[in-house]
Amino acid sequence: MSQHLGTAIVAAILGYAIGHWFGNYLASGYSFVANSGQNSIADALALTFGVVGWLLGIGALNYPLAKLIGRDGAKEETVDNWTKYFRYSLDHKVVGLQYVVGVLLFMFTGGLLAMAIRTELLNPTTHVFSADTYIKIVSEHGTVMMMMATSIIVGPLGNYLVPLMIGARRMAFPRIEALSFWIFVAGYMVIFSALPYGGFPTGWTGYAPLQTQAGPGMISYLLGFAVIGIGMMAAGFNIAVSIINYRAPGMTWSRLPIFVWSILATAALLTLATPVLFAGGLFGVLDKTVQTAFYVTEHGGSSYLWQNLFWFFGHPEVYIMALPGFGIVGEILPVFTRKPLFAYKVAAAGMIGVALLSFFVWQHHLFQSGINPDMRPLFMLTTELISIPTGFIFLVGMGTLYKAKIRFEVPMLFAMALFFNFLIGGVTGVFLSDVPVNVTVHGGFFVLSHFHYTIMGGLLFAFMAGLYYWLPKMTGRMMNSRIGKWHFWTMFIFFNLTFFPMFIIGLLGQPRRVYTYAPRLQGLNDFSSISAFLLGVSFLIFFANLMWSMWISPVKAPANPWDSLGLEWQTANPVPSYNFERIPVIMTDPYRYSEADAPAFADMGDGAGRSSSTTAGSSQA
């Protein structure tokens, strides 16, 4: 039977119905279910069976189930038309493009929720939503955006580009790669299912005791985190193994593209931090269903346990989002300045340093939550220390730009904007690391603005830079430059006009997650809301550019439109399913732009150049 998105949807619906029936059957004899008036067991099993049905329907479990019963692994269908993007594909390029569409759809839905939030904040006394509805919209927006942002670069660009950039024909585990995408989609459907369940009132952090007191929508939140956590672990493990073992001959660690370094550091964080999120979400589901008490204080549990588990993942998550953005910018700057990447090894060391230190800062989120006062100086220090390797990466960018003759193409504009935005986010982050400032502004719009400058101002601008830079390779079509510049300037201007006033609003005392505020702050809120609506328009310009450039008036992309030395641009266009007819041999460093007589970066098998005597391990077929 042919398996595709349609069969996955049908199987997910059937799985949901079976799970709900089974949950009702199991829980019918338990008094706590009858007394509560809410069968959380049925809700949790319905969502779990729905996810399993989704994976069965798309064909993700065919191979392992066949092996389990002693048969040869079932081969996935090979389809070479547009329907392959709606199937379980083992081609990393198809998976990358599936991720592109997925993250853009989720970003759009999260953006609509943001517009609802800013609409409510236009007036402190006339309300569009009730207080309860407002906090649930805020919670859903934050959760959707954070989970989307975790995958926004690693999913689309990491999966598509890493094999091409390291000279590999595929990822180490193609089935795990495909599984990570379809689990990612299932996890988002679980999180969105919170809305028909009545939402959850905890904010995106899900703190107890609000978590334990919340309705059935909380099950969707907790189970969604657990499901997405499985996908993150799978993706991180697969990417790390691929980079370590599948590099082309001659690609030593000192010749690894900086984007691949950033993805490797991110993969390590995904592999090590995400199991904690998975366990934390699972504990919460057990509390809500079978009456365990991991987070229920009155029964011997601790609400601080969730906070520690959540933020032990949550702060490395910030760098899961930020590091790939730095890697994108590190790839783009040398191309459009025609200069080598300044202090390449410092940039790589900075990424490793950020990844390591990110595991030692999580308790700065607990400065107001009852952390032992003796621990505050330690976590204040580690939080301030992480700005050092981050500063290394920032200075590498500045050194590359110094005295450069810059080509202001659309990818370069977005890359340069990252430095401006991230500088503001980083400087305000140093202030927030200090306990007195943190206690003063905690829970207010100052923190919200810092966070958006760091993540949206850094990550999202880097993602847009990466899309404009690599979509010609991924699709064979150029994005319209004029529309792209309209997109950039509207996004850059209105992003700053939206979020910079929030620093002022926060310092003047406006709290987050509250649907009313002091009337004296209405002017600043209105300015921020109107700017947010115009920021939303900038994304509509991007989607219009995407439609125009891909389907309405497509322009075929040259083989190497940016004159890049990167290995991904040396392959055929469109990229064949096997990537390289012959595994390339890496000859030199990847960023020798200013040297007219520099040897070719790689010998692609046409007789040009000579292979290096130093090789990296390659166990490819």
The last residue of a domain, from among 60, 87, 114: 87
Output DSSP code: residue 282: H
Tell me how far apart the alpha carbons of residues 407 and 468 are, in angstroms, rounded to a whole number: 14
33 vs 436: which has the higher pLDDT? 436
Calculate mean pLDDT across residues 319-326. 96
For residue 561, being part of any structural domain is answered with no
Six-digit token string for 429: 């982050």
204 and 286 share one domain: yes
Contact 120, 127 (CB under 8 A): yes
151 and 66 share one domain: no
179 and 63 share one domain: no
613 vs 295: which has the higher pLDDT? 295
Please give the residue range of the domain that contains residue 395.
89-552
Where does the pLDDT of residue 3 fall: very low under 50, low under 70, confident under 90, or very high at 90 and above? confident
First to last CA, the chain: 29
Structure confidence at residue 159 (pLDDT): 97
Six-digit token string for 130: 């009730």
Residue pLDDT, tens place only, 169-212:
999 999 999 999 999 999 999 999 999 999 999 999 999 999 99
Six-digit token string for 24: 């009702």
346-361: b (≥16 Cβ within 10 Å) or e: bbbebbbbbbebbbbb
For residue 368, with 0-12 CB atoms within 10 Å meaning exposed, 13-18 middle and 19 or more buried, which class applies? exposed
Structure confidence at residue 32 (pLDDT): 62
111 vs 67: which has the higher pLDDT? 111
Calculate mean pLDDT across residues 203-222. 94
Residue 615 has pLDDT above 50, yes or no: no
> In this structure, what CATH number is given to the domain that contains residue 402?
1.20.210.10
548 vs 215: which has the higher pLDDT? 548
Residue 301 has pLDDT above 60, yes or no: yes
Tell me how far apart the alpha carbons of residues 110 and 100 are, in angstroms, rounded to a whole number: 15
Residue pLDDT, tens place only, 226-257:
999 999 999 999 999 999 999 999 999 999 99
Q: Which residues are CB-contacts of 394 (< 8 A; sequence separation ≥ 6)?
A: 419, 422, 423, 426
404 and 489 share one domain: yes
Residue 73 has pLDDT above 70, yes or no: no
Beta partners for residue 108, in sequence order: none
Residue 348 has pLDDT above 80, yes or no: yes
Reading phi first (left if > 0) and then psi (alpha if -120 to 50, else beta), residue 198 is in left
99-133: b (≥16 Cβ within 10 Å) or e: bbebbbebbebbbebbebbbebbbbbeeeebeeeb
Structure confidence at residue 198 (pLDDT): 93
In the block, residue with structure tokens 């990229």: 575
Instruction: Give me the number of domains the chain comprises.
Output: 2
| Signed CA dihedral, 274, 280, 282, 288: sign only | negative
Tell me how far apart the alpha carbons of residues 251 and 267 are, in angstroms, rounded to a whole number: 19
Tell me how far apart the alpha carbons of residues 402 and 341 are, in angstroms, rounded to a whole number: 11
Calculate mean pLDDT across residues 2-16. 94
Where does the pLDDT of residue 612 fall: very low under 50, low under 70, confident under 90, or very high at 90 and above? very low
66 and 112 share one domain: no
Measure Cα distances from 361 to 47, 73, 449, 459 in Å: 34, 44, 20, 20
DSSP string, 190-227: HHHTTTTTT--SSTTTT-TTHHHH--THHHHHHHHHHH
Structure confidence at residue 594 (pLDDT): 82
Candidates 358, 177, 158, 178; CA nearest to 261 is: 158
For residue 606, being part of any structural domain is answered with no
DSSP string, 473-530: HHHSBPPPHHHHHHHHHHHHHHHHHHHHHHHHHHHTTPBTT-S---GGGHHHHHHHHH
230 and 286 share one domain: yes
Residue 284 host element (H or E)? helix 258-289
Residue pLDDT, tens place only, 390-417:
999 999 999 999 999 999 999 999 999 9
408 and 314 share one domain: yes
Q: What is the pTM of this model?
A: 0.94
Where does the pLDDT of residue 618 fall: very low under 50, low under 70, confident under 90, or very high at 90 and above? very low
Residue 488 has pLDDT above 50, yes or no: yes
Residue pLDDT, tens place only, 525-538:
999 999 999 999 99
Structure confidence at residue 436 (pLDDT): 93
Contact 488, 421 (CB under 8 A): no
Tell me how far apart the alpha carbons of residues 260 and 619 are, in angstroms, rounded to a whole number: 18
Residue 28 has pLDDT above 90, yes or no: no
Tell me how far apart the alpha carbons of residues 282 and 213 are, in angstroms, rounded to a whole number: 17
101 and 79 share one domain: no
138 and 183 share one domain: yes
Structure confidence at residue 77 (pLDDT): 64
Calculate mean pLDDT across residues 482-492. 98
The last residue of a domain, from among 87, 118, 148: 87
41 and 98 share one domain: no
Residue 66 has pLDDT above 80, yes or no: yes
The last residue of a domain, from among 87, 119, 137: 87
213 and 233 share one domain: yes
Contact 320, 386 (CB under 8 A): no
Q: What is the share, in percent, of the chain residues with pLDDT greater than 70?
A: 95
236 and 344 share one domain: yes
